[in-house]
């Protein structure tokens, strides 16, 4: 599938500039068409998730954005990881601001943003929802989790309860149990969640899961 590249200026995110791979329909779609933003996981890159586009409703344009933290050998991350499960909240905020800057520069104002994130990218999908929910539609979290710190729109979400898809495998050895528990508590208290647990699935994405994602998106777009 032919794709194009796009980068965007940032306002105040410590010099971070994000780049992305765009679907061919990104610029040709009507301005109000929802845009899917694919958010890869730790140690991956923007070339990882475009294969998931096969499960998106056919008319949806997508962009796969590269995370800002360069790790070498083509790998990137949204924020550093600690073996203890600790997270650098400042780095998460910086990445969130940079991602919003990219969206503001490349997504028409009238187009809802549908974030689809894997692992760390799932956290970033929830960050978009928790910071500017009016701009976000039907986030998809794949083997992901939620951050620890409160976010500006959490109280609003507790009332509005937007639709969220959260899928994960029951054999995932990567996501810490406390992160799973924290995410469960968050989605139960702040969203209308479609939660799916896939037997035998490790830290990955399965076809059955993507079929469920496709049905979820069709129901909410």
CATH number for 210: 3.40.50.1820
Instruction: Provide the pairing of β-strand 35-39 with 113-118.
Output: parallel
At residue 5, the pLDDT reads: 45
Per the structure, the complete domain to which residue 214 belongs is given by: 4-220
Q: Report d(CA 91, CA 188) in Å as an integer.
A: 26
Q: What is the 3-state secondary structure (H, E, C) of 155-186?
A: HHHHHHCCEEEEEEECCCCCCCHHHHHHHHHH
Q: Report d(CA 133, CA 162) in Å as an integer.
A: 8
Distances in Å between the Cα of 49 and the Cα atoms of 30, 66, 190, 215 are 23, 11, 27, 18
Average pLDDT over residues 180-199: 98
Residue predicted with more confidence, 81 or 120: 120
The structural domain count of the chain equals 1
pTM, to two decimals: 0.93
Structure tokens belonging to residue 79? 């924020």
């Amino acid at each position: 599938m032919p794709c194009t590249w796009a980068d965007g200026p940032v306002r105040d995110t410590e010099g971070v500039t994000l780049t992305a791979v765009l679907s061919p329909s990104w610029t040709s779609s009507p301005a109000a068409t929802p845009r899917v933003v694919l958010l890869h996981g730790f140690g991956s890159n923007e070339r990882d998730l475009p294969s998931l586009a096969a499960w998106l409703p056919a008319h949806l344009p997508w962009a796969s954005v590269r995370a800002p933290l360069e790790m070498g050998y083509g790998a990137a991350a949204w924020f550093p990881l600690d073996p203890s499960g600790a997270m650098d909240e400042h780095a998460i905020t910086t990445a969130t601001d940079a991602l919003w800057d990219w969206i503001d520069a490349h997504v028409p104002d009238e187009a809802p943003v549908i974030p689809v994130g894997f692992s760390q990218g799932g956290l970033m999908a929830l960050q978009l929802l928790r910071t500017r929910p009016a701009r976000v539609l039907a986030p998809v979290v794949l083997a992901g989790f939620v951050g620890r710190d409160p976010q500006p729109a959490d109280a609003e979400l507790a009332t509005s309860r937007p639709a969220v898809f959260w899928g994960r495998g029951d054999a995932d050895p990567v996501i810490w149990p406390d992160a799973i528990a924290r995410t469960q508590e968050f989605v139960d208290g702040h969203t209308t969640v479609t939660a799916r647990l896939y037997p035998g699935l490790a830290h990955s994405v399965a076809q059955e899961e993507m079929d469920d994602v496709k049905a979820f998106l069709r129901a909410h777009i």
